[in-house]
Structure 1
Amino acid sequence: MGVLGVRVRVADPEHDVLVVLSESDGDLSLPIVIGPHEGVAIATAQAGVSSPRPGPHDLLLTSLQAAGVTLESVSIIELRQGTFIAELVLSNGKRVDARASDAIALALRAAVDVYCEDEVLAQAAIVLAHEDDAELDDDDALHVEISSAGSGREDDTVAEFREFLDQIDPRDFEDPEPPERES
């Protein structure tokens, strides 16, 4: 799965931060609500921004490397009571339990693949589709279809994801153009 992007939904009294994964060879997307710090960690890694001193994710990858182990991939393996469970797959064959948001941040920094179990996709995936395949203009909206892969039963968290995605504009996931400087 690829990381489509990180977005914030501003709603009183809270703000929800969401990372959206998308299938590289399909139409399914997986929205995951994450914390604001994790959102920053994912967004900065996706943008290729590095800090002068290592943050926690950089420190973990450097520590693994010093121990002679590398991160091979990340797998989202389960959706348990509205929480996505992930594993870090290491080069020594070991698997390490991780929060999905931390696993995604590590995967981006290590440039490794993110996988998602079919059962998780069946429970929580959605289809993000445009009304047509043409270029979007300002009046176009994102159309969200519920994946037929999903079970008929939705928990409240997945329903909230879908409600949030109904409000997203596809341009929210585009890289902003740098502002032009005046001469």
Structure 2
Amino acid sequence: MVQVRVVGVAVDVNAQPVVLLQPLTSVDDEERFLPIWIGAQEATSIVIAAQGAEAPRPLSHDLMKSMLDALDASVEQVEVTRIDAGTFYAEVTLEGPAGRQILDARPSDAIGLALRTGALIWVADEVFEEASIPADAARVESEEEKLAEFKQFLEDVDPEDFQG
């Protein structure tokens, strides 16, 4: 298992949200990220939790945490356990009065809950090996970088470039 942290949420070229996970320790000589495509609502929830912010009303992951607190249970860890035909699978390990329980979960829900509870996030070695990408490929330009690049284009453009 590879322990990871949430680096952030990005949007791919098709405007689909992606959560990027980075190992806490180097897996090999090359820095790598694990991208997991998620839904827009889950992306919003993960971003809010990663920033330590609170939504005006409880989101689903906030409700899950409140329910666990009310039941005197805690999240021990979450694991991205496998990938099958491009679909990631995860598990949430709970500890409470009923003992240890392992629940099937979508990775986005497991990650959203882990961020709210401070639980560790793990990825199976096989999943990381199969689906991780080099850090360079995961680089996401900030809005400031995109704006600076566009401004540079405008400064360098020559009206004659557009004549037929």
TM-score, with length taken from structure 1: 0.68
Percent of matched pairs sharing the same residue: 37
Q: Which has the higher contact order (CA 8 A, sep 6+)?
A: 2
Cα distance in 1 for partners of 2:22, 2:142 equals: 15
Give 1:4's aligned residue: 7
- How many residue pairs are counted as aligned between the two chains? 134
- Of Structure 1 and Structure 2, which has the larger fraction of its residues in helix? 2
Kept after mapping to 2: 8 A contact 1:73/1:89: yes
- CA drift of 1:51 comes to 2.3
Which residue number corresponds to residue 49 of structure 2?
45
2:150 aligned residue:
none
Question: Shift of the alpha carbon at 1:10?
Answer: 4.8
Query: What is the correspondence of 1:78-117 to structure 2 with a 5 Å cutoff?
Result: 78-91=82-95, 92-117=99-124
- 3-state SS, counterpart of residue 94 of structure 1: strand
- The residue that corresponds to 2:81 in the other structure is 77
Contact 1:7 1:172 (C-alpha < 8 Å) held by counterparts: no
Q: What do you get for the CA RMSD once the two structures are aligned?
A: 1.9
For residue 8 of structure 1, report the CA deviation from its aligned partner.
1.4
Matches within 5 A, 1:130-169: 143-144=136-137, 165=138, 168-169=139-140
- In structure 1, the residue matched to 2:128 is 121
Task: Name the CA distance, whole Å, in 2 between partners of 1:77 and 1:98.
Answer: 10
Deviations 1:5-61 (A, max 9, x none): 0011354xxx21111000000133100111111110100110111124322111111
Give me the whole-angstrom Cα distance separating, in 1, the residues matched to 2:82 and 2:13: 28
Aligned to 1:151: none
Preserved contact between residue 48 and residue 55 of structure 2 (Cα < 8 Å):
no
Contact 1:4 1:173 in 2 (8 A): no
Which structure 2 segments of 5+ residues have no match? 145-164
Computing the radius of gyration from Cα coordinates, the structure with the larger value is 2
TM-score (norm: length of structure 2):
0.75
Measure how far apart 1:67 and its partner are.
Answer: 1.3
The aligned amino acid for 2:118 is A
SS class of match (1:50): coil
